[in-house]
Structure 1
C-alpha cells in the first residue's frame, strides 16, 4: 500500500436536504479541513445516492457520504491527529460539523487499499 488512507462515514443532519448538505460540505467544510490539516494529500467526498441502491431489502443506510482522506504516510496521519488534539482546532472542527452533520453517526477508520488496474490487465 502506498500512502495512508482513512475512510469517514458521515450522516447529514435530518433537517438538512441532500443538496444543502453537499453545498455546505463542498463550500465550507472541505476548505476548512484542508486549511487545518496540510498533511492531507487527497480528500474525496463520495455522496451516496440511495435511490439507485442495489438491494431493496438491505438494512437502512446510516451515512450520506463516504469520505476518503489520504496522507503520504503514517507520519502525515499522525500529524493530523496531533493537530486535531489541539483543543482550539478540535472545537473549530466540531462547531463546523454541527452545522451540517449528525455527529452521533460519524465513523472513521484506517483502511488498507488494494486495486486492480483493469485497463492494463484485461480479462
Structure 2
C-alpha cells in the first residue's frame, strides 16, 4: 500500500516565487534525485501556490479563495509517495547521512526557509472524479 507525506515549503526571504520554483525544479530536484538514487520516492509532486504579482511590500500575496494571506505562509506543497513506510524512513534517513546532509542543507539555504518546513503523514486518500474528468 502506498505511503504518502505532505511537506509545506516556504521560499527564502528576498526570493521571488519564480526564482524559488526555478531553483526547486532545476537544481534541488535533480540534486535530491541523484543523491537518493534508488531510494527516491515513487512520486515527488510539487504544487506551487499562485503568487502572480508582487504586493506593495514585495511579498507576492497568494491568490486566496477562502481564508487570509496569513493562512498561506508557505509557497509549495510537496506530496511524496513511497511504496511503504519503511521506504519513506530510508529516504529521509539518507537525507540526514553525514556528507549528504551538508550538501542538501547548503542547497536549501539558497532558496528556502528550512526552519519553516513542515511535514505530515497522510492517512487514507480518496478521490472523486467528475463524469468527464481526467486525472492529471
TM-score (norm 2): 0.78
Residue 35 of structure 1: CA displacement?
A: 1.6
> Which SS does the other structure have where 1:108 is aligned?
strand
Q: Which has the higher strand share?
A: 1
Picking from 54, 61, 82, the partner of 2:65 is: 54
Task: Classify 1:60/1:115 alpha carbon distance in 2 versus 1 (closer, same or farther; 3 Å).
Answer: closer
Residue 119 (structure 1) shift: 4.3
How big is the shift at 1:118?
Answer: 2.1
**Structure 1 runs not aligned, ≥5 long:** none
Aligned twin of 2:120: 109
Deviation at 1:102, TM superposition (A): 1.2
Alignment of 1:7-86 (within 5 A): 7-37=6-36, 38-39=38-39, 40-50=41-51, 51-55=62-66, 57=68, 59-86=70-97
How many residue pairs match? The answer is: 119
Contact persistence 1:62–1:105 (CA under 8 A): no
Asked whether the equivalents of residues 11 and 105 of structure 1 are also in contact (C-alpha less than 8 Å), the reply is yes
Classify the secondary structure of the residue corresponding to 2:14: coil
d(CA) in 1 for partners of 2:16 and 2:124? 32
**Equivalent-residue separation in structure 1 for 2:22 and 2:68 (angstroms):** 30
For normalisation by structure 1, the TM-score amounts to 0.85
Find the aligned partners of 1:12 and 1:20 in 2 and give their Cα distance: 9
